[in-house]
Chain A
Amino acid sequence: MDWSLILNWGFLIALATAGITLAVPVLLAALGEIVTERAGVLNLGLDGVMVAGGVAGFMAAFYLQNGPLAGISQWLGLAVGVLAGMLMGLILAVLTITLRADQVVAGVTLVVLGHGVGNYLYRQNIGTLTARTNGLPPLALPGLNRIPVLGEILFNKDGTVYLTAFLVFLVWFLLFRTTWGLKIRAVGENPAASDTSGINVNLTRYAATLIGTALAGLGGAVLTVVQLRMFREGIMGGRGWIALALVIFARWRPGLALAGALMFGLADAIQYRVQALSQIERGVGTIPYEFLLMLPYILTILVLLYRAGRGDAPEALGRPYVKGSD
C-alpha cells in the first residue's frame, strides 16, 4: 500500500472530520447510558433502543419530507426518534423498576424487541433499500470556520454535531451541578439512604431511564436520518454495545465519554478510508477489508480488558430497590 495516500494533510483533515461525525451516535447513546446507570439502572438494551429511535426517526423524516413540513422534516424525525427511545425506556422502567425484573434479562429482551419490531415496521411500510432522507446540510459557524485546519474539522458540521457537544456539557451539568443530579447519583449508589433522605427512588430511576433512552433514541435517529440517510437491517452495527463499553471506559463521566467516542469515531473513519484505498490499490500486501471492519470492535474489547476488574461503577447498579431491605 502506498502510505503517502494516507499521510497527507488533506487526508488527515478529512479523517478527523469524519471521525467526529461518526462519534456522534455512539456518544449520544453513551451519554444517555451514563445518566441511566448513575441512577442504578443497567440498560443493556441500548442497541435495541437505538434501532427503535433509528427506524422511527427515519420513517417520520421520510414521510414528512414530501409534505408541508418538508423544511423541518429531519428535525421532526429526530424528535420522533427521541420519543421512540423513551417508549423503549418506559418498557424497561416498568419491567425493572416497578416489576423488579432482572435487568440483564430485560435489557437483552429490549435488544431483540428493538431489532425485531424495527425491521418489521420498515419492511411493512417502506421496504425498499433506496429510500433516502434529505439529511442536514453543514452549518458553518461564521468566523470560527475560517480558523485554519480546526475550522474545517470542528466548525463546518451539521447541527446535530453542535447539539451533541452541548449535550455533553448539559449532562455533566445535570449530574454534578444540580440537585436532580445529586438525587440521580444518590439512588444509584445507595437507594436505601436516598429513601430515608426523602428521595423518591423509583421516580428518580424512571426519570433517569427515560432521559437515557431519549438520548439513545436520538443517537439512533441521527445515524439514520442525518448521517447515512437510510435504514436497513443491521444498520446500527452494534453501536449500542460499543456505547455500553464506552460508559465503562469513561468511568461514568460525560467528558471521558466524549474522548472515548472520538477515539471510536476515528477508528471507524480510518476503517472506511483504508478500506476504500485498498479497493483502489488492489495490490500485493493489502489488508483484507474484513480485518478493518473489526477495528472498532477490537478497540471495544481492548478497552474492556483494560478496565476489567476496576470498580468505579455505581454501587447499586443493576439492583432493584426493595423498601426495607438493604
Chain B
Amino acid sequence: MEALGLVYIASALLIGLGALGTAIGFGTLGGKLLEGSARQPEQAPALQGKMFLMAGLLDAVPMIGVGIAMYLIFAVAPGLV
C-alpha cells in the first residue's frame, strides 16, 4: 500500500513538474517572440519558425515524463494493489 502511494506521488511529480517547466519555457518563449516581433516586424515569420523549433525541443522531455507517469499509474500501480 505504501509503494502504491509512492507510485502516485512520483507520477504527480512527473506530470506537475513537467507542466511547470513547459509553462515557464513557453512563457519566456512567447514573451521573447512578442518582444522580437515588436522590435523587428519584418523578422516575425522567421522568429515564428524558430519558435516552432524551440517549442519542439522544449516540450519533448516533459512529454516523455507524462508517458512514464501514465505507465506508472496504469501499468505499474495495478500490479501493486
Q: Do A and B come from one complex?
A: no
> Which residue numbers of B lie inside 8 Å of A, CB to CB?
none
